[in-house]
Amino acid sequence: MVVTGAAGFIGSHVADAFSAAGHEVLAVDAPRRSPTPDLARRTWAEVAARPGVVAAEIDLAVHGLDAVAAADVVVHLAGRPGVRDSWGAGRAVAERDNVLATRRLLASCMGRPARRRPRVIVASSSSVYGSAGRRPNREDDPLSPASPYAVSKVEVERLAGLAARDGLRTVLLRYFSVYGPRQRPDMAFHRFAEAALDGRPLPVFGDGRRSRSFTHVRDVVAATLVAAAEELPPGIAVNVGHDEPVGVTDAIGLLTGVLGVRAEIRREAPVAGDAERTWADTSRARRLLGWTATTGLAEGLTDQIAWHRELRAVSRSGAPAERREAARSSLPGGVGGRPPQDGRAEGVRVG
């Protein structure tokens, strides 16, 4: 089992979950290239300490991944996320870390004999759709990327589709607005939570009318593990998101309610390319994966706030890494020990 992006938000939880299920995991990332290196290094250390995990620092855009020769499944979560940071100089970074890295990874997989090629789960994003209209986005909807990041994800999907035509078993998972413990500092709920805990106004881009299919990382991991275990049609895309979008203003109300505080809002300029609405049609995920998101936003935000508070407490205490890991593992939002909904990931064979 290979998990790329294992020092990142979603990738670290996927690696944790496979380890907890008893699989051997090659965790791959380049944490020194992360825009948030302190968080990446801390997460990297936590993942590397898991049973059965071997951590390898590899820049996929440079080296590809020859280690796939020993794997039956590759979950490709590495890349440079974020709409806001993909403009300007960030465009080249998104091209390098998303498109070039994926091209090299897929080439490494295609380099194996046909019968020994791994199944490759490729992370995509709801941003490929642009903004949803009056109905949820289905996987066969036209793609309308509105930012360099979204364009890079469309290109990643194209590469995975071409590889599927050449015989590689690729599956595209389009994740929708993922949140939960270990969320990146640039993401909305992380920014809101830290501001509220500091007693600062919450920075909100635009007028707060945007809505999202907010999806807890626990549910995302469950879908990813099932996709890794199932024989799905090569090149297929599957939406992984909550099917009930929530407005940003309503989400802030839930978050401040969990915190038990009142918070001021500081309006900031809208982000170019940021969708007005994301809305997932999950009928394909239900049909092929037997999956649906089960974590409500209030419950999920409670998990995330507990993580923020615990990290702050441990940081103030100056505790060593071992205690930080123990604290993180004890949080209700930790997904590593919770199996997928139907347990089908137990069928994944490790090379």
Q: Which residues are catalytic?
A: 149
> What is the rounded end-to-end Cα distance, in angstroms, of the chain?
7
Q: Which of 144, 137, 34, 150 is nearest to 82 (CA)?
A: 150
- Identify residue 34 by its one-letter amino acid code: S
Tokens of 257: 């309610």
Q: Whats the size of the chain, residue-wise?
A: 351
253: β partners:
none
In degrees and rounded to multiples of 5, residue 13 shows phi and psi of -70, -35
Instruction: Evaluate whether 153 touches 190 at the Cβ level (below 8 Å).
Output: no
Q: Which of 12, 22, 7, 108 is nearest to 64 (CA)?
A: 108
Question: CA of 280: how far to CAs of 80, 104, 187, 259, in Å?
Answer: 22, 30, 19, 28
